[in-house]
Structure 1
Amino acid sequence: MRCSMGSKTNTWSDQWGTGVFNNEENDYEKPNNKSNNSSSNKKMEQVKAAASTGLVKAKSVAIVGAHKVKKGTSTGFKWIKNKCSSSK
């Protein structure tokens, strides 16, 4: 079946603009229970604390790694400089 320009049905883009799908999204929302929120808040705090600890460790490892790369690069350039200057 072909849709002509004069068709009165909504197109896909028109449906998104009119809020046709808003009712479906409300069906998936969870009920707001205080006991559920308090336990989920505690879990969220524990997850945030663990993530924070992990980020601190990752940052320190990255800093140490960057220092090692910097030192190794410097040592490598000095070695190359010494090899080139001693061959002349």
Structure 2
Amino acid sequence: MGSKTDTWSDQWGTGVFDNDEKDYEKQNNKSNNNNKKMDQVKAVASTGLVKAKSAAIVGAHKLKKGTSTGFKWIKNKCSASK
């Protein structure tokens, strides 16, 4: 029993298991970074969509008002000529 071998408890922290845990931590850090980047992209895209939606609404109101005014003008011109 005089041999100089590591015990099971001494080997536990320096083996393959440590490398697997480190790889897992690296993978989690990468996925967390990707999630943060994706959240930033979504926030920017959301802002862009809100602006596009408001521009479309304003455009639709202008179109509706212009069309209504045009029909009223045509109606007045047609009824005035009779």
Q: Percent identity?
A: 74
Report what 1:6 is aligned to. Answer: none
Q: Unpaired runs of 5+ in structure 1? A: 1-30
Give the TM-score normalised by structure 1.
Answer: 0.62
If you compute each CA radius of gyration, which structure gives the higher value, 1 or 2? 2
Which protein, 1 or 2, shows the higher relative CO under an 8 Å CA cutoff with sep ≥ 6? 1
Q: Unpaired runs of 5+ in structure 2? A: 1-23
Say yes or no: does 1:40 pair with 2:14. no
Give the alignment of 1:1-88 within 5 angstroms. 33-88=27-82
Deviation of residue 38 (structure 1)?
1.0
C-alpha distance in structure 2 between counterparts of 1:64 and 1:70, whole Å: 10
Provide the aligned C-alpha RMSD in A: 1.6
Instruction: List structure 1 runs of 4+ shifted beyond 2 angstroms.
Output: none
